[in-house]
Structure 1
Amino acid sequence: MTLEILRPYALIIIPLAIVFTFVMTRFMIRMTRKKKISVLTARILVFTFLALALAGISIKWKIDTTTTMFVVDSSDSTALHKDEEEKFVKDALLQKPKKDKMGIITFGSDSLIDQFISKNNSFNKIETKPVGTYTNIENGLTTALSLLPQNNKKRVVLITDGEENEGSAYKIAPSLLEQNVDFKVYKIEKPQGDEVAVDNISIPEKINLGDEFTVVANITSTVGTSAKVTLYSGREKRGEMNVELQKGSNKFVFKDTADSGGFKSYKVVVEPNKDTEVKNNEYSSFTNVQDKPKILLIEDKNGEASELEKMLIASKMDYKKINAAAAPRNIEELNQYKTIITCNVHVESLNKGFLNALEPYVKDFAGGFIATGGDEGFILGEYLNTPLEKVLPVYMDMRGKKAIPEMGLVLVIDHSGSMSGGNQNVKKIDLAKDAALKAADTLRDVDELGVIAFDDQVTWAVSRQKASNKTEIKKKIGAIGIGGGTTILPSLEEAYKSLKESKTKIKHVILLTDGQAEQSGYDPLIEKMKKEKITVSTVAVGKDADTKLLQGIAKKAGGRYYYTDENTNIPRIFAKEIFMAANVYLNEREFTPRVVSNHQILNGVLVDGKLPNLFGYVASSPKETARVILQSDEEDPILSVWQYGLGKAVAWNSDMNGKWSKNYVTWDKNLKLWQNIINYTVENYGDESGHVDVKNSGSKGEIKLTTKNAGEDLTVNAVVMAPDSTSKEVKLNPTSPGEYTGSFDMKQTGVYMVSVRQNKGDQVLAAINSAAALQYSPEYKISTQNSSLDKMLTEMGVSYIKSPSEVFSGDLKAVISKTQLTPYFLSLALLLFFIDIVQRKLNISFKDLFKKRKEDKKLQEAVEPTVKKEYVDYEKSSETPLETEKHEEKDSKDKKSKDKEDNKLDTGALLDKKKNRYF
């Protein structure tokens, strides 16, 4: 331990202060000698402590404790070497001196504390798991330096494969040297196996429709091997070649033609004969194909879109017609088209990818959507509570004054032995149960549902009850099993009895069977049903069903008859039948549509304000912000439109196959009407007002908009669609005049679609689309160059260590700990200065204060018995004779004791002395 004086010349103040203080005593005329000495001493000490404080005196001593921080690489590239890393740390800790401390940090892209700094040598395994998609050595070392205590010798032991792909370890070298850190690195040696990786692909950023272009794939290999290289555009294979890969870099060129517009993703996949890691065998990119608007026609049954197709051909519009089963499956495929038209398409015919992507396609990417009706469209096509309903300008169900009253429904389902048959490995009874489950989901909570399962006996699988308890109802439906023979009449009789007691306005029975049953006895029951306004629809399953009987029951009971030899249609039939039972959705009658709104769609269409008659439509309810252009004679929407986000949607509630619209098919203004409808959805916000640049930086996507629409009232948001079709909205903030930026997480490999919109209040000024691609983690790249870690060690003069025994070897540069005494000297000077003021200004002697305190204590002890006696005398005045006698005896004893005490202390004299002192 040594003493350090930073400014020794400040100590000259001490003798000067002593001389000055003695000179000042000449002016202390009124002070006693004793007080002068006290003041003189205090002042000399005050000046002495101030001089010592100014001198900057500190105590220094050497630190003999070392803190070692293990920084362990836990990225994906070292995952197979975790055991080696743990063993290295364990073996090293066996040689750690007991007085030293240690801690453990793991890192990948981020850094985590695996073990806090302590003297404890116990270590079993690495518990933490940082994000392993990147190796950021810089982050790990920075975290270690921030945790190392300042008053210890410092050692950092880095355990890594050195394959840094984020940050730069080289930046930390100055900090390590400045802080005298003993820096040691143990490198994980990974044997280079047979490895093939797609390094990148290059593709033009923008191309025109119809142009031929090249896609160049760069593939790196550590071994010579044969492989198959395939180029995909979306889900479509665009090229394939069998190649011989050479060790090192390989380049292959594909040619393709831009046959559709919009942003298109491309992916190269390599399948080598020799390989170790498959995650780096594919690489994605994209291009923007500039083209004129293209229309997609989707039909469920052949011929449904024929009339619209003729009009598109006559209008010389670019279009493509497909079956619903081939509908696009993601936002990228939808964005190839400016408008999509569905012609009487049932929702179950569309894939989930299309349904999930439809809303963002219209709302965020400015797509157009037109839905036409028919017996499989709108509510009859089960659009209720689907993305189709969300995008369209109409609600599927009836609302307001046209709301459907409560319904009582009884399902009479055949579960005889023949229902165990079927096709496609699916039993008919299972499909019947699925249909019952769908019926339960379709009904509202205010409706009632009962389920009868019949064979040669009648069993209530679900007693008629409110459909609100769907969980319990579905559980009971699921328990229906296979039975014996078939008898229908008793089951219908049971359904009649139950519905007769129901208070619902609509009462309906759905009978499903695949077999034969009683041929007579139905008419009296049907007549009773008619009186109770109970209707019956029948479903014949397969050619063995008694179709004549079932047709007759449905016709006489006011219901509908269905036949299906495709068992998978059964659930769809049940759902449709529930809506048909309400007798309000399907309207098959002649009427003249009425114009209720003047709109650009009617420009050049109306002749004397008249339109041809229609022969049917599917009823729905207009949404609050929708614009109804045409409506039926019952005020149901026929043609309605609205703006949905950036895009536009149109609902045509009649058909376009000529069944209900035969007068329109031959009408000379029909072409103009549909040209106007399609052009309305094609109109879009241009991208002349700015430019969007999207780049990926590590696991982040960076969006930058440069726009002419700058201003305080401009808000900019981006919608990002991930490869799995999930979307997220990102706010872009102004960073400079006309420039807005934001970022988003990129966790999935593939192409991210980005739509940036500029808003001023509620008005959308512009919408611009772009994209970005995220590849496999650089952890899986084939390393071909030295890392920044090698450069860092070379410049620091540090080499790799080879074994755990080297961790605690070598002498560390001594660390000197220092404690500044200045604050303590200042505190003492301040205290003594305060005491000096108190003595001089208040004329108080601390010695007299202590003496006075002792005298007061003695006085209190003397007066206390007198006060106590006076109190006792007062108490005696209200005592009983017996209590008085007891107190007198006690007083006698107290008096004798007092007399003895008087001989020791003159109380009166003390009282007089106290009085004189205060007055």
Structure 2
Amino acid sequence: MPFDEMFGLFTGYWNSILLYGVEFEHPERLWYLVPIMLIFVFFLRKSFVLLQEKNKVKDVKVQRRMWIYRILIFISRTIIFLLLVIALAGPILNVKEKIFGERSITIIVDKSDSMQLYDTSFVPGLQAELEQQIPVKVATVGSGSRSNIGDGILTNLGKNRNILLVTDGNANAGSDIGDAALLASDLNASISSIQILPAENDYSITIDGPSKVLSHSEAEYLITVKSSKGFAENFEPKVTIDGQPYPGKITTEDETKIMAIRPKLDDGQHRIEASIAVDDYFPINNKYYKTVKSVPKPKVLLLSKKTSPLEQIFTKLYDVEKMDRLPAKLDEFYTVVINDMPATSFTSSEIQRLGDFVNDGNGLVVFGGDNSFEYGKYKGSDLLSLLPVNIGAGEKQPRPDLNAVVIIDVSEGQEGFDSLGLSKAHSLNVMDQFRLNDNVGVVAFAEQYYTVSGMNKMTPDHIADIQDKIQRLKFYPASSCSNVRTCSNIVAGITGATKLLEGVSGKKWIFLYSDGQYFDYLTGSYLDYAVELLEKQNIVLYSTMTTKTKLGDITYTFEGAERALRVLAERTGGIYFPPSDSDRMRLLFGKQEQKETSEEGDTRSIMVLNRYHFITEAIDPTAKITGYNQIIPKANARLLMTTSLGEPLLAVWRYGLGRVAVLGTDDGTAWAGQILNQDNSMLISRIMNWGIGDPERKLDYYTQIADGIEGEQNEILVKSSKYPVAEGLDFYKIEENVYSATFKPEQLGFGTLANNIYATNYRPEYTELRLNPQLEDVALASEGKLFKPGDAQGIIDFVSKRSERVDIQKKKVSWPFIVAAMILFLIEVLARRVEEQTRKD
């Protein structure tokens, strides 16, 4: 190797060490330096080199020179062995290297039906203009109602390639676009998109809501109308139930109209049809059909020793039987409700019978009051073993000390929005909730993590230090990232937090604040690895997104990132807080000191803590309560609601195959009357319906057909003690007394099969009519860009820049340290020769 090339490598490696530090494949080998240094010190005190004995050397200057010489030799040998030990430990450097990609581009054109709404006439001209300077390949994907964009990307992906999509991004078949982006990032390939514009106006209509409801109970259905270019015509959707018009409330949001209806249906099967009378491009998506089965009221056992206002609500929705003792047989009931009863009301055998009932797949709902929980001798009772809560003791039993790490994402966020500022504000807010004996640390991350503040008790000095350091955090610019996908490396942030929590005992929590930018890669193995890091130490993670929800004129909600943050939290037993609820993290700390508040006396508002559960989804209670029980969620329970000051209020868990819910306030008799009013009673019915589960599961015979898609396989399920027979259907057994058969509906509208009605709707290709915001996520994750239709020069410049660029790669380099040790050894040998010659002279 020429000297100038070797010198250049040395310089590059040295700069890499200064800029990015060094990692080691075998860091434990660095401990070899300890015995080596001890040996060197020992010989230094004796005689490291052959010199004349000290008593033979009378000249003081010569003695001093000999001593300096010995010290220099000691330093030289130390450095030599240090370099050799470093080489033995396997140093890994982050080295800047030039990456040479393909100076070409592949244009993938979506040919599915929905693309007829967009102007793609520019494609031939764009191709011709690009071909004048770079090689161009054109591929097509999709046809008719099939849009398999992900498959098209995977087929054309290759190392260092550039792909340009001409698509609306609304895939309905094949591989996921996000998975394709993940592979592209691994291959150092880019996926860019053209921001195509709609040329035709079209409207689609859909119906969302439950397919099975309880007889005469209220259920909400949303009729959604979407447009490709906005609502040029003034119209309202027409809704009929069993052929009769049904009015609803309409709201308009951007390019979407939503009508909400809340019918109460009789027993039996019902048809809901929604339509719009418009002159648009695809008439096929102007009607939508939905079937709903209204089933008889399930039987519920209400155990109560007093008259309860719950009876009035329950009677409207369920077949209620009230008793003051647990009966000998429970088979006919779907759920048991215990209303404000002491534990002494149940014998051990009754608790055993109740536990078997729940374990078999049934429900148990427990309401509090002044005769239950801490007032009803629940602590230490057999009944408590069935419940997702323990009994607290209020002020007498403060919560245990907590070990917590706050993780802050400092990667560059959305342009024009200070997501880091919001993260700082939330971090400082959560700091106010910790107590003196809590151990708290802070980690920040972008491409890599770094410790902002180590674990320490929350003394005034530590609090001031943390607050100062958080305030001084700065953005890590995206331009400094070696790879856009790693600009916001959440796995690195979690790694840093888990290292801070290693070896500490007690409860461990992590609070994660991020805008979610670049998080779409966080799927599959990446997500599993992050969860594994947390589960090893029994760490619970709470997360929130610090972001706005719009980017330009495109609705942009970071759905993939939000999904990843939610999975991270839920799989570790934590909670994901949407941006609108991020301030509710304070409720996790339990009972808060009552400060200045508009609530008088002991009045508390009810707060939803976890919105991602059947019971609490899309509800915002306005009720206030004047009393509550001292309950504490168990480790495997899910806390769904608290009071406004953080006292646990609603907790649930699964017990065997069954479900158990506990509401830590009363039935409305004294404390929680507002829960029963029209604005809040849905909470009670949600709790009960969750406990009941499938209201047909105890029937000996039923059939079930889901609404289907035109031309696609649909399934009919039959529960029967005998093998079912129906013309044109071949059934097979899937479990005890349950049979399945498939059929393919070919006609839109309602159909009948085995005395069951079902609906068949248009294909998903005609539902989503605007550009999918995931295209921007894909471009960000793969270092691609979004281009205007005529920006040929911008595309050429982008491809040219990517064809030769600098990237940071991890590289194992031992030889520079070995060579440096050899050079230093040769210099030492030469110096010794000179010294020996000088002494002879």
TM-score w.r.t. structure 1 length? 0.27
TM-score w.r.t. structure 2 length? 0.29
Structure 1 or 2, whichever has the larger Rg, is: 1
